[in-house]
Chains A and B, each alone.
Chain A
Amino acid sequence: MIVRNGIRSNLRAKGRTALFTGMILVLTLVMVLALGVRLYCDTALAQFDKSYRSIAVVEYMGAEYPDRDEPDPSARAASSAIDDGAIRAIPGVNAWYRDCHTLGTVDGFIRLGNDMPYKNRGVIVVTHLSPKYSMDVGYDPNGELGIVPSDQVDYYTGIVSRSIYSYTGKENIFVSILPDFVPDDVDYGDLYVLHGTFVDGDQLGIHNGMEAFLAMKFPDSDASPVARLEPGEEPGELFAQAAEHYRAINNYVHTVTCGNLNDLWEFHQGVIYLQEGKMPERPDECVISGDLAVKMEIPVGGKLDYTAFSSAENDRYDVELTDRHQSLTVTGIANENTEYTAYIWQQADAPLTRLYGYRIGIASLDNAKSVEAVMAMESIMPENVRVSLLDQGYADAVEPFVSLQSTATNVLLLCAVGTVSVLVLFALLFVGRQNETVRILVSLGTPRRKIVLWLLSGALVISGSATLLGGVLGLLGLPAVFRRIQTRVSGEKELLRFSETLVSTVKTADIKVDTPVWPLALTIAGIILLSLLFCLLFLRTAYRGGTLRRGKSRVRVPRGKTSVFGSGSMRYAVLSIRRGGPRALLVVAVSAVLTLVIIILGGVYRGWETQLDEALHKTQLEGQVTSTDGRFFSGLTVKISTIHKLMSLDDVGDVYVSIRDVYWMPEDIPAFGEGTFAQERRQDWIDAQSELVCTNNLKGAKEFYFTEPVIQWVDGWDESCLADDSYPTIFGALLGIETDKELAPYPAIVGDEFMESHHLTPDCEFTCMMRGNRSLGDEIPVTLHIVGVYHQTGSRAHIYLPLSFFAMPDVVFGEEPPEGSSYGFRYGRWTVENYRAYIYDFYMMESCRFTLTSASHLEESRQALDEAGFGWPGHLGDNRTALVLRDASFVKLTENLGRYLSMGRVMLGLIFGVVALLGFIVSWLLISGRKREFAIMRGFGVRRMQLFLSFFWEQALLCILGCAIGCLALVHFYAGGPLQLLVLGGYVLCYMAGCAISVVLIAKMNLMELLSTRE
Chain B
Amino acid sequence: MSVFELRDVKYVYQSQYQRVEAIRGISGSFDAGSLYAIMGTSGSGKTTLLSLMAGMDVPTEGHVLCEGVSTSEMDLERYRREKVAVIYQDFRLLPLLTVAENIMYPMELRGKKPAEARKRAMELLEKVGLPESAADRFPAMLSGGEQQRVAIARALGMETRVLLADEPTGNLDTDNSEKIFRILSGLAHDDGYCVVIVTHDSALGERADSMLHLRDGRLLEG
> Of residues 157 to 201 in B, which have CB atoms within 8 Å of A's CB atoms?
158
| Contact of B114 with A575 in the complex, beta carbons under 8 Å | no
Q: Which of B51, B108, B113 contacts A1011 (CB 8 A)?
A: B51
| A1008 contact from B57, B78, B113, Cβ within 8 A | B57
Judged by a CB distance under 8 angstroms, whether B80 is at the interface is yes
Pair B108/A1008 contact, Cβ less than 8 Å:
no
Pairwise interchain contact A562-B48, C-beta atoms closer than 8 A: no
B-facing residues in A304-360 (Cβ within 8 Å): none
Given A567-B108, A571-B114, A1011-B51, A937 and B94 touching (CB < 8 A)? yes
B96 adjacent to A575 (CB under 8 Å): yes
Is A564 within 8 A of B118, CB to CB? yes
Contacts of B106 in A (CB 8 A): 940
- Of all chain B residues, the one with the shortest Cβ separation from A579 is B96
Partner among B54, B77, B79, B94 whose Cβ is within 8 Å of the Cβ of A943: B77
Residue from the set A935, A938, A943, A1011 with the largest chain B CB neighbour count within 10 Å = A1011
* 18-57 of chain B: CB within 8 A of chain A: 48, 51, 54-57
Question: How far, in Å, is B91 (CB) from chain A's closest CB?
Answer: 10
Residue in A557, A941, A944 whose beta carbon sits within 8 Å of that of B81 in the complex? A941
Report the Cα distance A938→B105, complex, angstroms: 12
List the B residue with the shortest CB-CB distance to A580: B96
Asked if B57 contacts A558 (CB within 8 A), the reply is no
Question: Does B135 touch A at the CB level, under 8 Å?
Answer: yes
The answer, yes or no, to whether B216 is at the interface (CB within 8 Å) is no
| Complex-state Cα separation, A943 to B115, whole angstroms | 22
In the bound complex, CA of A579 to CA of B102 (Å):
14
Nearest-Cβ distance from residue B209 to partner chain A, whole angstroms: 26
Q: A561-B136, A567-B114, A944-B77 in contact; A939/B96 too (CB < 8 A)?
A: no
Q: Is the CB of A562 within 8 A of B81?
A: no
Given contacts A556-B140, A558-B138, is CB(A576)–CB(B96) below 8 Å?
A: yes
Interface residues of A in 509-566 (CB under 8 A from B): 553, 555-558, 560-566
Question: Does the CB pair B56–A1007 fall under 8 Å?
Answer: yes
Q: Judge if B100 is at the interface, Cβ distance under 8 Å.
A: yes
User: Which residues of chain A have C-beta atoms less than 8 A from B114's C-beta?
Assistant: 563-567, 571
* Contact with A941, one of B82, B94, B136 (Cβ below 8 angstroms): B82
Given A575-B97, A579-B96, also A939-B54 (CB < 8 A): yes
Determine the distance from Cα of A102 to Cα of B86 in the docked complex, in whole angstroms.
Answer: 108
A1008 touches B135 (CB 8 A): no
B109: interface (CB < 8 Å): yes
Contact across chains for B57 and A1006 when beta carbons are under 8 A apart: yes
A562→B139 CA distance, assembly (Å): 12
Question: Are A940 and B105 within 8 A (Cβ)?
Answer: yes
Partner of A939 from B48, B92, B118 at Cβ < 8 Å: B92
A294 close to B (CB within 8 Å) = no
Docked pose: A565 CA to B115 CA in angstroms = 8
Judge whether A936 is part of the interface by a CB distance below 8 angstroms.
yes
Q: How many residues of A contact B (CB 8 A)?
A: 35
Are A557 and B141 interface neighbours, CB within 8 A? Answer: yes
**Closest beta carbon of chain B to A864's beta carbon, Å:** 71
From residue B173, how far is it (CB to closest CB) to chain A in Å?
18
Q: What is the interface size of chain B, counting residues whose CB is below 8 A from a CB of the partner? A: 41
Residues of B49-67 at the interface with A, using a CB-CB cut-off of 8 Å, are 51, 54-57
- Interface status of B101 (Cβ within 8 A of chain A): yes
Asked if A933 lies at the interface with its beta carbon under 8 angstroms from chain B, I say yes
B101 and A563: CB pair below 8 A? yes
Instruction: List A residues 897-914 near B (Cβ within 8 Å).
Output: none
Chain B neighbourhood of A566, CB < 8 A: 114
Whether, in the assembled complex, B98 has its beta carbon less than 8 Å from a beta carbon of chain A, the answer is yes
Find the residue from A565, A933, A935 having the highest chain B CB count within 10 A: A933
Q: Within 8 Å CB of A933, what residues of B?
A: 94-96
Q: Please pick, from B81, B95, B141, the residue contacting A940 in the complex, using a CB distance under 8 A.
A: B81
Which residue on chain A has the smallest CB distance to residue B115? A564
Q: Does A557 contact B94, Cβ atoms closer than 8 Å?
A: no
Chain B hits for A932, CB < 8 A: 92
Contact B98 A941 (CB under 8 A): no
Closest A-chain residue to B76, C-beta based? A941
- Does A560 contact B51, Cβ atoms closer than 8 Å? no
Contacts of A939 in B (CB 8 A): 54, 56, 80, 86, 92
- A971 within 8 A of partner (CB): no
A924-947 interface bits toward B, Cβ cutoff 8 Å, 1 = contact, 0 = none: 000000001101111111111000
A residues 551-600 near B (Cβ < 8 Å) are 553, 555-558, 560-567, 571-572, 575-576, 579-580
Nearest residue, chain A, Cβ from B119: A564
What residues of chain B lie closer than 8 Å to A580, measured between beta carbons?
96
The chain A residue with its CB closest to the CB of B54 is A939
A553 to B128, CA, bound (A): 26
Q: Are A940 and B109 in contact (CB under 8 A)?
A: yes
Q: In the assembled complex, how far is the CB of residue A422 from the closest CB belonging to chain B, in whole angstroms?
A: 29
Q: How far is the CA of A937 from the CA of B77 in the complex (A)?
A: 10
- Tell me, in angstroms, the Cα distance from A936 to B114 when the chains sit together: 20
B residues less than 8 Å from A941 (CB atoms): 55, 76-82, 109
Contact call A1008/B51, Cβ cutoff below 8 A = yes
Write out the residue numbers on chain A whose beta carbons fall within 8 Å of the beta carbon of B54.
939
Tell me the bound Cα distance from A576 to B92 in angstroms: 16
Question: B51: which A residues are within 8 A, CB to CB?
Answer: 1007-1008, 1011
Measured between alpha carbons, how far is A579 from B138 in the docked complex, in Å?
A: 11
**Given A940-B106, A1007-B57, A1011-B56, A562 and B77 contact (CB-CB distance below 8 Å):** no
Taking a contact as CB atoms under 8 Å apart, the answer to whether A560 and B77 are in contact is no
Q: How distant is B101 from chain A, measured CB to nearest CB, in Å?
A: 5
Chain B CB count within 10 A is highest, among A553, A562, A580, for: A562
Q: Within the assembled complex, what's the spacing in Å between the Cα atoms of A242 and B39?
A: 138
Chain A minimum-CB-distance residue to B105: A940
Residue on A with the closest CB to B51?
A1008
- With both chains docked as a complex, state the minimum distance between the C-beta of A531 and any C-beta of chain B, in angstroms: 32
Let me know if B57 and A557 touch, CB within 8 A.
no
- Chain A's closest residue to B77 (CB) is A941
Q: Which residues of chain A are near B88, meaning CB under 8 Å? A: 1011
Cross-chain contact A575 with B101 (CB below 8 angstroms): yes
Cβ distance B60 to chain A, nearest Cβ, rounded Å: 12
Query: Within residues 100 to 140 of chain B, which ones have a CB less than 8 A from any CB in chain A?
Result: 100-101, 104-106, 108-109, 113-115, 117-118, 135-136, 138, 140
Q: Which residue of A lies closest to B137 (CB)?
A: A557
Q: Which residues of B contact A572 (CB under 8 A)?
A: 105
Cα A567 to Cα B54 in complex, Å, equals 26
Chain A residues whose CB sits within 8 angstroms of the CB of B95 once the complex forms: 555, 558, 933
A562 touches B115 (CB 8 A): no
- A1007 — which chain B residues lie within 8 A by C-beta? 51, 56-57
> Closest approach, in angstroms, between the C-beta of A1015 and any C-beta of chain B?
11
Q: Give chain B nearest CB distance to A1008 CB in angstroms.
A: 5
Report B-chain residues with C-beta under 8 Å of the C-beta of A579: 96-97
Q: How far is the CB of B217 from chain A (nearest CB, A)?
A: 15
Report the Cα distance A576→B95, complex, angstroms.
10
Interface centre among B48, B81, B101, B135 (most CB of A within 10 A): B101
Q: Which of B55, B86, B105 has the most CB of A within 10 A?
A: B105
Q: 4 closest A-B pairs (Cβ-Cβ)?
A: A941-B81, A941-B80, A564-B114, A562-B100
- 27 A-B pairs within 8 Å (CB atoms) are namely A555-B95, A557-B140, A557-B141, A561-B98, A562-B100, A562-B101, A562-B118, A567-B108, A572-B105, A932-B92, A937-B94, A939-B54, A939-B80, A939-B92, A940-B158, A941-B77, A941-B78, A941-B79, A941-B80, A941-B82, A941-B109, A942-B77, A942-B81, A942-B109, A1007-B51, A1008-B56, A1011-B92
Question: Besides A938-B80, A940-B106, A942-B109, 20 other CB < 8 A contacts?
Answer: A562-B98, A562-B118, A562-B135, A572-B105, A575-B96, A576-B96, A579-B97, A933-B96, A936-B92, A939-B86, A940-B81, A941-B76, A941-B81, A942-B81, A1006-B57, A1007-B51, A1007-B56, A1008-B51, A1011-B88, A1011-B92
Task: Using CB atoms and an 8 Å cutoff, list the residues of chain B in contact with chain A.
Answer: 48, 51, 54-57, 76-82, 86, 88, 92-101, 104-106, 108-109, 113-115, 117-118, 135-136, 138, 140-141, 158
Binding site for B on A (CB under 8 A): 553, 555-558, 560-567, 571-572, 575-576, 579-580, 932-933, 935-944, 1006-1008, 1011
